[in-house]
Structure 1
Amino acid sequence: MKNFKKLSVLFLLVLSFSAVQAQKRHLDNYRDPDQRGINVFEAPKDTISTFDGVRVRIGGSSTLQFQAIDHENGVPQNLIDDGTVLPLKEIGSNFNLATANLDLDVALAKGVRMHLRTYLSSRHHPEPYVKGGYFQIDNLDFISEGTLGELMKYTTIKVGHMENNYGDAHFRRTDNAQAMFNPFVGNLIMDSFTTEVGAEVYYQRNGFIGMVGFSNGKLNQSVTTGSNGKTGGASFLAKLGYDSQLSDDLRVRLTGSLYNTGYVPSNYLYTADRAGSRYYFVMENEEASASSPFRSGRYDPGFRNSITAIMFNPFVKFGGLEFFGTAEFVSGRASSEVDDRKTTQFAGELIYRFGSTENFYVGGRYNTVKGELANGTEPDINRTQLSAGWFMTKNILAKVEYVNQKYDGYDNTSILYDGQFNGVVVEAVISF
């Protein structure tokens, strides 16, 4: 036992030394997890390799919020009294659970690296669990020197159980404790994010961006068959766009993305975030616990077995002023439904960054979702967010947000009937 303890301590010391050495240099084809990663979408395609041996970069993030939000609805009191609708949970002002991520990024060969993210603490899972990871290839010299050298100057291959690259909004969302890239505290109302086993191939050249990918359409992996005799289905992904720095002050990016399934046992495009919403307990009933339900304030259209989702994202940055937009059009259904239903989402963000290193910002976002639920109701949800932030260092961000969200279109037997929540959330983020 003593020898085991000594070996364990030695291993940790060696690992720590390796991590310190690795963090002295930038990894190739890599999005930095700190302020330098702001407004970076797909990982940059580096033209020169700095690989000189296997390198392990240990990083992570930690985030904490103070929440002061009120909520209310218009459910008739008699429906609450007779138990038809449970009353809203009473909420006040206090700190939320601190969240944490652990990231491992390993340079394995020239143009080849691995990424793995583990949620150490999240709203839904206070215990650690792996979010996902992938194997990224930007060079094929590990096969033979010069293999498809000209093609690989512009091509990237990703394989793994990983976050799907559908749309550009997921590059700006909060991923559990990694909240550095989100100028606000909350993500979009209809938060598109999922992790599935698949592969994506990218081609980036002269500002042009193209991507095609396939996945097995499953969040929870299993080889068991369903009632249709199949173990699963498949998802197709595609992205096409253009991103260019037109002048020293002006950058323009526009992309269109597609996520499509034939049949899948259970689609999770809008429910795969196991970390949970930043707005704790809003519009939840009195029986809600800290870990369930955990997607408070979000909207799920319920397209369980087939879905076609299209997202357009314009991004313009002129000096310190930037605009990011989302226009999303989704249709689909559960296998028990005969006809497809439709949902649309629009969001616009206007951010102004200032200071010597753009280390301060103020901004606003307006987000609206209109859809059709299987029960015939047609929700109309609108959210306004106002935010301000300060990068104390490139690794430390403090931000404050005012949020106001309103619900229309629900009948009076829903807890969301004439619902509304509003208030302030203060968030501190550390990422390295």
Structure 2
Amino acid sequence: MRTIFKIFAIASFLFLGIGNIQAQNDRNLDNYREPDKDGINVFEAPKDTISTFDGLKVRIGGAFALQFQALDNENANLEGYQIQGIGENFNLPTANFDIDVALYEGIRMHLRTYLSSRHHNEPYVKGGYLLVDKLDFVHKNFLEDVMKYTTIKIGHMENNYGDAHFRRSDNAQAIYNPFVGNLIMDAFTTEVGAELYYRRNGFIGMVGFTNGKLNQSVSENDYGKTGGASFLAKLGYDKQINNDLRVRLTGSMYNTGYIPNTYLYSADRAGARYYNVMQALGSESDDFRASRYDPKLSNEITAIMINPFVKYRGLEFFGTIETATGKGSAEVDDRTANQYAGELIYRFGLDENMYIGARYNVVDAEDISGQDVNINRFQAAAGWFMTKNILLKAEYVVQNYDDFSQTSILNDGKFNGATVEAVISF
């Protein structure tokens, strides 16, 4: 506990002290997704050829999130597979520290550090990247006609597979998420790679390659390899049709022929947003990924996600249709996991500073033992942006586990209840 208090003392100093200094200056950056209410329903960072660069500029920011959780959980309660009871109290607060730097005209750097997270009480770096929108560092107006529509992104970074990851909670950065929890199959990974974007007249194209590794290493595995490679692609259309209507539709793919371990559905070391649910009785450790589902397609995977988004005035719909197929190296046949989710949000009030919404999310999959399993979740939420940087939201959730084996802690499992979350992001 002493370590946690030290972390938050440091975080408070950084956030308040440095934040006050920055408040006296212009904090705007080119082609930047704002970390506040203005970043809602922004997906890829905007692309604009107009530059305001007049020298190196550092933007210090961060986020803080605190939850009060009142959930219950249960299962079949078979001998040897009972679960721990949970009650009402506050969860461990989470905090992020962000550094964004305009390095040159058309070049920006981002770095995010988790100061405190569910899985790591100590600070650790999530990842960072370099975003290149111009090649003027080669010489003035180099490939200007190409770079007008092109963006290059390089780093150990959150990979752009699907659109759901733009709306999820990233540790303390929960201001973009209208709900408390992320999707059941929470596609999120940070790998070393590069992504090339081409955007023109509403059309979006992206191709990318990574080394497929969450934890970087040059050590050889049992096959005499230091790693593998993964391929990403996205194709879509995003258009503000008129003042009232915006339409976006994208399709994404993540593919690897072989890597030592796939992390697409297990890479978020910050932990799931529902704490201590479905834990074995007497267990001293917290399964920080509980409430999510990882199909454990351990060495080969092809995942495809389709995301429609429609916003008409204050009403918006966001959907997810996803299928992931693959296997572990010891398996003979491929297995498949499917996910479907739909969320409907209505934003109202002054500048849409309040909202209500609901999401239904279902996963059906063949697990590693060959068992066909099903998980379904319903979430209802309401939120209030007290300011652009402060969000208070409440959620009621019900999640059911069906068809799990009698030797699984999830056999006839269920958790339900309410969570209230306060988020500060700047």
When the two structures are superposed, what TM-score results if normalisation uses the length of structure 2? 0.95
Shift of 1:237: 0.1
CA–CA distance in 2 between the matches of 1:366 and 1:23?
43
Equivalent position SS for 1:386 = strand
**C-alpha displacement of 1:46:** 1.4
Deviation at 1:281, TM superposition (A): 0.9
2:285 counterpart of 1:327: no
Matched, 1:233 2:231: no
Conserved? CA contact 1:19–1:58, under 8 Å: no
Question: Against the structure 1 CA distance between its residues 135 and 399, is the aligned structure 2 distance closer, same or farther, given a 3 Å change threshold?
Answer: same
Deviations 1:297-343 (A, max 9, x none): 11010001010000000000000000000000110100010010001
Partner of residue 125, structure 2: 130
Residue 398 of structure 1 corresponds to 392
Letter in 2 for 1:358: E
1:146-185 alignment to 2 at 5 Å? 146-185=141-180
1:22 to partner: Cα distance: 8.2
Q: Is the 8 A contact 1:137 1:157 kept in 2?
A: yes
| Equivalent of residue 372 in structure 1, options 354, 358, 366 | 366
Quick one: which of 332, 344, 359 aligns to 1:350? 344
Aligned equivalents of 1:125 and 1:179: distance in 2? 17
Aligned residue for 2:238? 243
Q: Which residue in 2 is equivalent to 1:204? A: 199
Residue matched to 1:60: 62
- In structure 1, which of residues 400, 405, 411 is the aligned counterpart of residue 405 of structure 2? 411
Contact 1:281 1:288 in 2 (8 A): no
Shift of 1:24: 2.0
Once the two structures are TM-superposed, the CA of residue 289 in structure 1 deviates from its matched residue by 4.4
Where structure 2 has 5 or more consecutive residues not aligned to the other structure, the ranges are 1-13
Cα deviation for residue 21 of structure 1 reads: 6.4
TM superposition shift of 1:89:
1.2
Alpha-carbon deviation of 1:295?
A: 0.8
User: CA–CA distance in 1 between the matches of 2:359 and 2:123?
Assistant: 32
1:37 paired to 2:31: no
Deviations, residues 38-79 of structure 1 (Å, cap 9, x unaligned)? 000000001210000000000000000000000111143xxx
CA shift digits 1:389-421 (9 cap, x unpaired)? 000000000000000000101111111111110
Instruction: Identify which of 249, 252, 255 aligns with 2:250.
Output: 255
Determine which of 37, 50, 60 is the counterpart of 1:48.
50
Contact 2:374 2:401 in 1 (8 A): yes
Whether 1:97 and 2:92 are equivalent positions in the alignment is: yes
What is the aligned counterpart of 2:103 among 105, 108, 126?
108
SS of the aligned residue for 1:280 comes to coil
Distance 2:57 2:146 in 1: 26
- In structure 2, what is the Cα distance between the partners aligned to 1:17 and 1:95? 26
**Equivalence map 1:73-88=2 (5 Å):** 73-76=75-78, 80=79, 83=80, 85=81, 87-88=82-83
Q: Which residue of 2 aligns with 1:361?
A: 355
Amino acid at match of 1:384: F
Q: Which amino acid aligns with 2:128?
A: G
Distance of 2:246 and 2:19 partners within structure 1: 39
Q: Whole-Å Cα distance in 1 between the matches of residues 154 and 216 of structure 2?
A: 15
| In 2: Cα distance, 1:289 partner to 1:312 partner | 39
d(CA) in 2 for partners of 1:21 and 1:140? 31
RMSD (Å), alpha carbons: 1.4
Structure 1 distance, partners of 2:20, 2:410, is 51
**Partner in structure 2 of residue 297 of structure 1:** 291
Percent sequence identity over aligned pairs: 68
| Gaps in structure 1 of 5+ consecutive residues | 1-11
Structure 2 residue matching 1:36: 3-state secondary structure: helix
Secondary structure class of the residue paired with 1:284? coil
Contact 1:303 1:334 in 2 (8 A): yes
Q: Distance in 2 between matches of 1:215 and 1:227?
A: 21
Secondary structure at the aligned position of 2:350 is classed as coil
On the 8 A contact 1:19/1:56 being kept in 2, the answer is no
Give the Cα–Cα distance (whole angstroms) in 2 for the partners of residues 369 and 277 of structure 1. Answer: 17
1:316 pairs with 296, 310, 317, which one? 310
* C-alpha distance after superposition, 1:238-268 (max 9, x if no partner): 0000000001000000000000001000000
Matches of 2:331 and 2:206, distance apart in 1: 32
Instruction: For residues 330-375 of structure 1, give each alpha carbon's deviation from its aligned partner in whole angstroms, at most 9, with x where no partner exists.
Output: 1010001001000100000000000121000000000000000121
Q: Provide the secondary structure at the position in 2 that maps to 1:151.
A: helix
In the alignment, the residues of structure 1 paired with residue 75 and residue 233 of structure 2 have an alpha-carbon distance, to the nearest angstrom, of 40
Conserved 8 A contact 1:22-1:57? no
For residue 379 of structure 1, give the secondary structure of its aligned residue in structure 2: strand
Say which SS state the counterpart of residue 22 (structure 2) adopts: helix
Q: Quote the offset at 1:23 in angstroms.
A: 5.4
1:148-185 CA distance string (max 9 Å, x none): 00110110000000000000000000000000000000
1:98 is matched by which residue type in structure 2?
A: P
One-letter amino acid of the counterpart of residue 326, structure 2: G
- What residue is the counterpart of 2:140 in the other structure? 145
Q: Which residue of 2 aligns with 1:277?
A: 272
State the Cα distance separating 1:105 from its structure 2 match.
0.1
**Structure 2 letter corresponding to 1:40:** V
- What whole-Å deviation, never above 9, does each CA across 1:135-160 have from its counterpart, x for those lacking one? 11000111100100011011000000
- Kept in 1: contact 2:19–2:61 (CA 8 A): no
SS of the residue 1:150 aligns to:
helix
> What letter matches 2:179 in structure 1?
F
State the secondary structure of the residue aligned to 2:352.
coil
**What amino acid maps onto 1:163 in structure 2?**
E
Q: What displacement does 1:284 show?
A: 1.1
Aligned to 1:9: none
Partner AA of 1:57 in structure 2: R
* TM-score in terms of structure 1 length: 0.93
